[in-house]
Amino acid sequence: MQKKKIIIINGPNLNLLGKREPGIYGASSFESFLEELKSKHTDFEITYYQSNTEGELVDAIQKADNVYTGILLNAAAYTHTSVAIHDAIGSIQTPVIEIHISNIYKREEFRHKSIISANCIGMISGLGLKGYELGLEYFKK
Ligand code: DQA
């Protein structure tokens, strides 16, 4: 059976997971989490992309269209500011699940508004890195 292809796209500062505010984002690096995720979910082919740059995230979303079954997107700070990422998600066929490690509604008010949610099929926020795994499981259907 052909494996379902999923891409995880992470935005700015998520390359620092493990070092960055561990009280909020946890002590694990994304790379070590990813290895674990891949070994647990061998029925998926999981690709990972991270960028700190808005335009590169737009490019990655556009390129993922019709290549992957789904996109797990943590746009990080751009969640709250980027009309370009909102529009990129709205321009493609491939479904996008919005992921946040922290619960954005429990934090500063400027994080309560997501510009991208309206174009995503759903959002998982506040469940730590487990949120990526739950998003992945959605695409098993
Ligand atoms: C985040 C939440 C955002 O508000 C923040 O800017 C991030 C990470 C999260 O995963 O909880 O960088 O998307």
Query: Which structure tokens are listed for 92?
Result: 């493609």
Residues 6+ apart with CB under 8 A from 84: 54, 55, 58
Query: Which structure tokens are listed for 87?
Result: 């529009």
- 8 Å CB contact between 115 and 86: yes
Rounded-to-integer distance, Cα 84 and Cα 90, Å: 10
* The one-letter amino acid at 34: L
10 touches ligand 1 (CB under 6 Å): no
Tell me the CA–centroid distance for residue 47 and ligand 1, in Å: 20
Average pLDDT value for the chain: 97
Domain 4-140 architecture: 3-Layer(aba) Sandwich (3.40)
What confidence tens digit (pLDDT) does each residue in 90-105 have? 999 999 999 999 999 9
What are the catalytic residues?
A: 25, 100
Tell me the CA–centroid distance for residue 87 and ligand 1, in Å: 19
Locate the ligand 1 atom nearest the alpha carbon of residue 24 and give its number.
11
Domains of the chain: which residue ranges?
4-140
Q: Report whether pLDDT(1) > 80.
A: no
